[in-house]
Amino acid sequence: MLTTLAMTALLVPASLAGAAPAAHVSSDCPHATRHAVPAREARTMLCVINAARTANGLGRLRASASLAKAARGYARTVVRARDFSHIGPDGSTPDQRVLRAGYHGRGVGETLAYGQGALGTPAGVVAGWLRSPPHRAVLLSPLMRDVGVGVVRGSPLPGVSGGTTAVGDFGYR
pLDDT band (50, 70, 90) for residue 52: very high
b/e map 93-131, b = 16+ CB within 10 Å: bbbbbbbebebebebbbbbbbbbbebbbbbbbbbbbbbe
CA distance 29 to 165: 20
pLDDT tens digits along 77-104:
999 999 999 999 999 999 999 999 999 9
Cβ–Cβ under 8 Å, residues 24 and 130: yes
Of the given ranges (3-12, 44-53, 119-128), which has the lowest mean pLDDT?
3-12
**Residues 102 and 66: beta-carbon distance below 8 Å:** yes
pTM of the model: 0.88
Position 158 scores a pLDDT of 93
Q: Helix 65-81 vs helix 38-55: angle between axes, to the nearest 10 degrees?
A: 120
Q: Do β-strands 164-172 and 146-153 pair in parallel, antiparallel, or remain unpaired? A: antiparallel
